[in-house]
Structure 1
Amino acid sequence: MSTTALPARRAPDSFAILLMVGLCAIWGFQQVAIKSTNSAVPPVFQAGLRSLVASLLVWGWARSRGTPLFRDDGTLSAGLLAGVLFAAEFVCIFLGLTLTSASRMAVFLYTAPCFTALGLHWFVEGERMRRIQWFGIVVAFAGMALAFADGFLHGNVASGSTLKGMAGDALGVLAGIAWAATTVVVRATRLAQSSASKTLFYQLAVSAVVLLALAVGLGQAHVETVTPLAMMSLAYQAVVVAFVSYLVWFWLLTRYIASRLSVFSFLTPLFGVSFGVLLLGESFSLRFLMAAALVLVGIALVNAPARRVAK
């Protein structure tokens, strides 16, 4: 019986690079889409609807491709944990965006690669960090501290209150930690051998249940006003971000070297800050710009590929 070997993963070519830049732009725009809809759809309810619609789309996609989602393969407990962490991430993002700007949220959220590197270092064998990665984490955390200092000294225009703004910034960091914890759970458990569709479905379906239940408990399960902008934003978040972009990302990971793709993650907060300024009229100080630059450099260093030693 003959078997077909999987293609070897290779360095990103021009096609992969263009796709990654597009994905980073999509992810960077997400904060703007959420913030522009918070006044029409309460934040936790908005997050729950996003996960619900996207989970149904992933279920339909898996069914059309014959990918089993409900087979007992020992991933249930890890999948439930990943889904709860995914829900926690988006609670922090959606509530945080009611207190801070989309630009600031983009920077704090995308400290996640640094927390991921720390988590993998501690919990996953063979993921030990190198000296350059430790340096990158120090640089990124210095940038994060400077950004917090800027929020305290310069104030937060989005919230009109320094304390509220700092709370929103802190929620951005907590969202990054929850995102990193989700990644570590996926990598350190049997989910690592599961299909990408099933792993994504766990996160979306469980988070949909958690978020919608929380929205009911908080009295947010309603829509303030139905506007074209709100509907377009929800469609963008559920279809473009949570469904299409994640599937494209997983597809790229099956064909290209993951560490080379991850380097592009520093572009996402760059897009996030740019969209916040251009589309929402957000402003920032020189101190915050320096802080964002430090975070971006730190992310790039954390994701720097290891050098191959010549034999």
Structure 2
Amino acid sequence: MNSKKHIILFVVLGAIWGGAYPAISIGVETVPPIFYAAVRYDIASILMLTYVSLNINYWYPQNVGDWMNVAFGGLFIIGAYNAFLFAGQTIVPSAVAAVLVGLMPVFTSFISQILVPDKDISVLGIIGIMLGFVGIIFISRPDPSHLLGGDTVGQLLVIIAAASMALGSVLTERVDSDQPAITMEAWSMFLGAIVLHIAATQTTSSPWTIQWTSSAILMLVYLSVLSSAVAYLIYFYLLRELGAFEMNFVAYVAAAFGVIIGWAALQDQITAYTLVGFVCIFCGFLLLKKDQIKHVASIKRIESMARGKFP
């Protein structure tokens, strides 16, 4: 990430996605969580589909592989992830939710190894996975005598959300598809919105009786326009420029911003256990990706030397 433009966009993306957690917490105070998520993606999918139809030649799924990718994305990356995350954030502080979602890259490596074991996982990789789960324990500190009490259920919902996104990411990577990632994401948002509306019918008696506050509307605009449409345009630009490996780190930048913004805007309590849990999760990710980190570092070193920039 040598370009100053790339660094700025990377930090901006982390800040936007980090701010989504406090925004969700504010919105679900007055609006049923799954319905709120559904409306978010109603708006976001319209914006994204409009963009791809005007700017991308391959703007709609054209074969079975394309539609399978959209289905996995809509069901897991958009539908299940947002349903569990929004529901969980009615219970747990936004700062805790931001840190727990940082488990997603760890879950991705774990699920990928289970579904498609391309090679034996190293001892350090096993330690990395264990560190991720140690981080969960530090954050949740479950009471064995009352496992369903306090924030435990909310934390479990957020963890399931992170696992759902990880599963969707692994499944979409394994499908042979020619469509651009941004096209898949736009149609996944559309399908995900439908899935969320169906799920919302089980938890929302009548959407017409919901009292929309000005704060809930403002946060909806933030989530659907800035955190969904605009953020994904930045994400896919950086993905093309930097690659998938470096973009894994945006989850941790977003988590850091989520903790800071949650503390500043909502007075979320940040305990030492939460911080230690975050460090464990991040270190677990680094151990899992040790080989990739060394590989990317060696490539960057060669590129710098080729440009005459000796370290």
Relative distance call for 1:127 and 1:230 in structure 2 (3 A) is farther
Correspondence for 1:175: 161
1:35 alignment partner in structure 2: 25
CA distance in 1, matches of 2:27, 2:209: 10
Task: Name the structure 1 match of 2:307.
Answer: none
Q: Give the percent of matched residue pairs that are identical in Structure 1 and Structure 2.
A: 22
Which amino acid is 1:208 matched to? A
SS at match of 1:307: helix
- Counterpart of 2:306 in structure 1 is none
Looking at structure 1, the residues matched to 108 and 271 of structure 2 have their Cα atoms a distance apart, in angstroms, of: 28
Quote the residue 1:205 is aligned against. 190
Gaps of 5+ in 1: 1-10, 156-160
In structure 2, the residue matched to 1:4 is none
After TM superposition, give the deviation of residue 53 of structure 1 in Å. Answer: 0.7
Give matches, 1:3-152, under 5 Å.
Answer: 11-74=1-64, 75-85=66-76, 86-124=78-116, 132-149=124-141, 152=143
Quick check: 110-119 or 299-308, which moved more? 299-308
Matches within 5 A, 1:150-299: 152=143, 163-191=149-177, 193-218=178-203, 219=205, 221-222=207-208, 224-299=210-285
Matched-pair contact (CA < 8 Å) for 2:105–2:285: yes
Q: Which sits farther off after the overlay, 172-181 or 270-279?
A: 270-279
- Return the TM-score normalized by structure 1: 0.85
Tell me if structure 2 keeps the 8 A contact 1:53–1:238: yes
Shift of 1:70: 3.5
Distance in 2 (CA, whole Å) between partners of 1:81 and 1:15 is: 32
CA 1:251 to 1:41, structure 2 compared with 1: closer, same or farther past 3 Å?
same
**Contact 1:24–1:265 (8 Å) recurs in 2:** yes
Secondary structure in 2 matching 1:217:
coil
Residues 71 and 183 of structure 1: CA distance in aligned 2, closer, same or farther (over 3 Å) = closer
Deviations 1:83-138, CA, capped at 9 Å, x for gaps: 11120111101110111111111111220100111222344575875554443222
TM-score, normalising length: structure 2: 0.85
The CA distance in 2 between the partners of 1:17 and 1:109, in whole Å, is 22
> How many residues are matched?
293
